[in-house]
Amino acid sequence: MPAGTPSLKDIKVEEEQEVDHSRVEAVLSGMSTEEKVGQMMSVAFRFWKENPAEEAATVLNAEKENPERAVTGLNEKMRACLKKYHFGSFTLFRENCRDAEQTIRLTTDIQAANQEGHGIPMLIAADQEGGTVTRLGFGTSGPGSMALAATGNPGSAEAMAEVYGEELRRVGIHVNYAPVLDINNNPNNPVIGVRSFSDDPETVSRFGEAYIRGLHRAGAIATIKHFPGHGNTVTDSHLSLPYIGSTAQELKAFELVPFRAAIEAGADMIMTAHIQYPEVEQETHISCSTGERIHLPATMSRRFLTEILRGEMGFEGVIITDALNMAAIENNFTDEDTIRLTIGAGVDILMLPIVLDMGTFQRIQEMTDTAVRMVKNGEINEERINASVRRILKLKEKYGLLEQTDFTVTEEKLRAAVRTLHSPEHRKTAESLAEKALTLLKNDNHAFPISLRNGEKTLILFSNSSANRVMAAEMAIRRLKAELPVPEGTEMKVMVHTGANGDECLEAAVNADHAVLVHRFYCAGCLDPRTEEGSSTALFDRVIEARKRKNQSSVLVSCQLPYDAGRFPEADAILLTYGSSVSWTLPAESGAGSDYVPNLPAALCACFGLGKPSGILPVSIPAVNKQYQLTDEILYFRRVDC
């Protein structure tokens, strides 16, 4: 564990005994208004372009073609900004983290720039949830939350979280924006999905508590999110302002259950949701872009953050917003209103708009200056600021940051980081849990696993929605040939349905002795053959039907949301993975340095008998109607013992 980080035992002692916070009070009393406001601001330098005229979306989409735009080190303007503004925390994204050595040098450089301005050491954070949301472009990307719940054992979440915590701490990251405690009770949810453990509050609570324990054991800070719950939405707050009609009592009986359990388990931070709950928060605001009257989202709701979260639920830790450049906020509130309303609601840390270019870089500075001005002219009460800064300082004190001044990069630190992030034990943990999560939902006529014979042909066919997952098949084939006695003359063909090659794919499937169909459901349109996202479902229907006429079976592999299981009732076998990741290159034989999510490779290996699925269903799966929509009828019920 890095120097300056208390062990889990130390943390527990601090929680159980009366703690002397005189050091915190001494630091607080000597801070200027500018320094206090800076502590409440979290910045992120994701991309850099001197010319702000180019659309931010263009910069984001062009990252693969223009990797030099990604911020992997500080330039002089960034360094001067960190020196001047005394920011309290910094959020890293995948583009910032290319390899272990580069990431360590970046985090230490961030701290050094802050120290040049005599700042308090910064909390450095990242979203390392696992599964579909990971920020390190190296190290171990294990199964996500729903897959961990499918193992049926909360210890899986604890073990995987400890791996994430150890790897984050080795590269200078203190805070994990995880676990996700949203209950995925709406299968059409476009943003949570497999990031949730379950559609059951008790299951989410048990696995969330275990995940927190794992992070704490590694000396990392857990951030539970997205309070008070993002699981029952049909819109994504990155794109618009969601609306949930639940009453306060309904939320307390359902969505708030995991958050209450996590608070009792010692969670240090909570991230807010940019969602309207008009039955709970009646205060409204006129949207700055549409002129419509909207309800204050939870991020700006004193009712939610001060009265419910702090008053009724007893949370004494740090409240941080979700990113304030998400459309839910940016499209409806001016920057000045955002500052005034979030701080007034009880927020401790504002996650400022992500820097993509010179324009957004200037904007975060202007927002910080605005906050300082509002405190000095009395629009924001300084005692309110003091309360937040006190909580932030206590958190830094607890994790050994308050007095840390040495952020020197040493060869020993670099070697230790590389060992941890290339750990075979970590990779084995991830692969083992991915295999345990695999859930064989259906197996008619013993279609699963496939038994290969000499000279037989097998087709692995990917839907268009899973096209960028095709490398998982190459990984599985490599492992099968290395670990199984694959008969001579066996042919394994991998194809991707592009839309234009449907007849070719159908012919190959009909002529194959075995067929594995890989489908990825990530939005409602994926079930509908009339949409671009769902165009492959019509082909899969044809393949399954044609093979049945020849008395041949078809195995369907669901590689993300499991709700597509109801879309293919005629498939002979259905295997659920609960997650997969984009992969462009085949990792090294050892797996060292690779961050691929192991769920899909494990599933494809299991299709041929290498690995035995033992997972249990953590969510209920509804039937699909003739309009290709999920219904209220439950086709497969969640296992209550997970």
CATH of the domain at 620: 3.40.50.1700
**Integer angstrom CA distances of residue 280 from 183, 283, 298, 338, 362:** 19, 9, 9, 20, 36
- For residues 305 and 171, membership in a common domain is answered with yes
Q: What is the CATH number of the domain that holds 394?
A: 3.20.20.300
* Final residue belonging to a domain, choices 388, 420, 452: 420
Bond into 562 cis (ω within 30): no
pLDDT at res. 592: 52
Number of domains in the chain: 2
Three-state SS across 227-269? ECCCCCCCCCCCCCCCECCCCHHHHHHCCHHHHHHHHHCCCCE
* Final residue belonging to a domain, choices 356, 391, 420: 420
* Residue 1 forms part of a structural domain: no
Structure token pair of residue 556: 């369907």
* Residue 455 forms part of a structural domain: yes
Environment class of 187 (CB within 10 Å of its CB; exposed 0-12, middle 13-18, buried 19+): buried
3-state secondary structure of 349: strand
Which phi and psi (to 5°) does residue 31 adopt?
-90, 145
pLDDT at res. 67: 58
- For residues 465 and 416, membership in a common domain is answered with no
* Residue 586 forms part of a structural domain: yes
In sequence order, what DSSP letters do the residues of 205-233 get, joined into one string? HHHHHHHHHHHHHTTPEEEEEEET--TT-
Environment class of 254 (CB within 10 Å of its CB; exposed 0-12, middle 13-18, buried 19+): middle
* DSSP label at residue 47: B
Rounded CA-CA distance 629/24 in Å is: 55
- For residues 190 and 321, membership in a common domain is answered with yes
- For residues 271 and 356, membership in a common domain is answered with yes
* Residue 140 forms part of a structural domain: yes
Contacts of 13 (CB under 8 A, 6+ apart): none
pLDDT at res. 12: 40
3-state secondary structure of 637: coil
* Residue 3 forms part of a structural domain: no
Question: Whose structure tokens read 């990431």?
Answer: 103
**CA dihedral for 211, 212, 216, 220, sign (positive or negative):** positive
* Residue 498 forms part of a structural domain: yes
Q: Amino acid identity, residue 534?
A: G
pLDDT at res. 589: 64
- For residues 596 and 480, membership in a common domain is answered with yes
Angle value at C-alpha 175, between 304 and 305, nearest 5 degrees: 5
**Integer angstrom CA distances of residue 125 from 29, 128, 165, 380, 576:** 26, 9, 11, 27, 31
192 and 234 in contact (C-beta within 8 Å)?
A: no
> CB-hemisphere CA count at 13 Å for 567?
29
- For residues 415 and 462, membership in a common domain is answered with no
Rounded CA-CA distance 434/369 in Å is: 47
* Residue 426 forms part of a structural domain: no
Altogether, the residues listed in the chain come to a count of 642
Angle value at C-alpha 9, between 3 and 150, nearest 5 degrees: 100
* Residue 641 forms part of a structural domain: no
497 and 461 in contact (C-beta within 8 Å)?
A: yes
- For residues 401 and 489, membership in a common domain is answered with no
Catalytic pick among 10, 21, 99, 238? 238
Residue numbers of the domain that contains 334? 8-420
**CA dihedral for 595, 596, 602, 608, sign (positive or negative):** negative
**Integer angstrom CA distances of residue 498 from 224, 465, 468, 492:** 39, 9, 11, 19
How high is the mean pLDDT in each 10-residue block of the chain (642 residues)?
41 52 95 98 94 53 59 96 97 95 96 93 97 91 96 98 97 97 91 95 98 98 96 76 92 98 97 96 94 96 98 98 94 97 98 95 97 98 97 97 88 91 92 97 96 96 94 94 91 95 97 98 93 96 97 97 97 97 71 75 97 96 96 91 52
- For residues 388 and 467, membership in a common domain is answered with no
Rounded CA-CA distance 24/395 in Å is: 10
Among residues 565, 498, 572, 568, the alpha carbon closest in space to that of 535 is found at 498
- For residues 628 and 584, membership in a common domain is answered with yes
* Final residue belonging to a domain, choices 368, 387, 420: 420
Environment class of 585 (CB within 10 Å of its CB; exposed 0-12, middle 13-18, buried 19+): exposed
Is residue 238 annotated as part of the catalytic site, yes or no? yes
Catalytic pick among 182, 200, 322, 348? 322
- For residues 158 and 35, membership in a common domain is answered with yes
- For residues 342 and 487, membership in a common domain is answered with no
- For residues 234 and 188, membership in a common domain is answered with yes
